[in-house]
Amino acid sequence: MTVVALLFASVLWPTVLLAAPRGEGRLPLDIAAGTSTWVNRHGSVMVLDRGRDGLLQGYFVNNAPGKGCRGIPYELSGRMVDETIAFQVSWRNGVADCPMETQWRGHIQPSREGGLEIVAEWQQSSTVLSIGLGDDEPQKGTDHFTLQVTTGLHSQITPPGISEIP
C-alpha cells in the first residue's frame, strides 16, 4: 500500500527541481536536494529523491516491452555527485520478484530539447547462483532518461504508456 501511495503522490504533487547556481566554467546540471522524475525511451519511470549529501533513494517502474517485472515500482538507491550518477535496482519487492539486479552509471547533461537528461551505461546480473550453466555474462546497454518537469498537477511531457490523472 505504501508503494501505491508513493506512486500516486509522485503523479499528483509537482516535481520540485532546483538548478545549482552557475559556477566558473561549470554547467548548471547539479540537481539540488529534492524529488525529480525521469523517463527513459521505453517509458520506464524513475523517481529520485536526492538528499543534501547526494544520496539517492526512490523507485523505478519498468515499462520496457518484452521485459519482466513491468508496471510495478521497485526500490532504487544510489548516489549523485555533481553531474555523475550511479544507482541500482534489485527487482524484488514482495509483490513480484525477478531474480535480477541492474546497476546504472552515468552523467547528467543538457538535452537537445533544452532540458536535462541522464545518459547511463547499465549492467544487469542474475541474483540466482548458476553453477556450470555458462550463461553468467551480465546483460549491458545504455539508457537515456529525460527529466520530466511539472507545473501544477499536469506534467509538460507525458511519458509513453503513462496516463495522467485529470
- pLDDT tens-digit map of 92-123: 988 888 889 999 999 999 999 889 999 999 99
- HSE at residue 117, side-chain half, CA atoms within 13 A, is 14
Number of domains in the chain: 1
CATH number for the domain that contains residue 83: 2.40.128.30
What is the mean predicted confidence (pLDDT) over 154-166? 42
Domain coverage including residue 105 = 2-18+31-155
Q: Is residue 163 part of a domain?
A: no
What pLDDT shows up at residue 126?
85
Q: Is residue 104 part of a domain?
A: yes
What pLDDT shows up at residue 20?
35
58 or 14: whose pLDDT is higher?
A: 58
* Separation of alpha carbons 93 and 102, rounded Å: 14
Residue pLDDT, tens place only, 19-44: 333 333 344 455 667 899 999 999 99
Residue pLDDT, tens place only, 116-157: 999 999 999 888 765 555 566 788 999 999 999 875 554 444
Residue pLDDT, tens place only, 71-91: 999 999 999 999 999 999 999
What pLDDT shows up at residue 97?
86
Report CA torsion sign: 106, 142, 93, 6. positive
Q: Is residue 23 part of a domain?
A: no
What pLDDT shows up at residue 6?
41
Give the predicted TM-score (pTM) of the model: 0.70
What pLDDT shows up at residue 16?
33
Q: Is residue 162 part of a domain?
A: no
Q: Is residue 149 part of a domain?
A: yes
Print burial letters for 84-113: b (CB count within 10 Å at least 16), e (below 16).
ebbbbbbbbbeeeebebbbbbebebeeeee
Q: Is residue 24 part of a domain?
A: no
Q: Is residue 26 part of a domain?
A: no
Q: Is residue 87 part of a domain?
A: yes
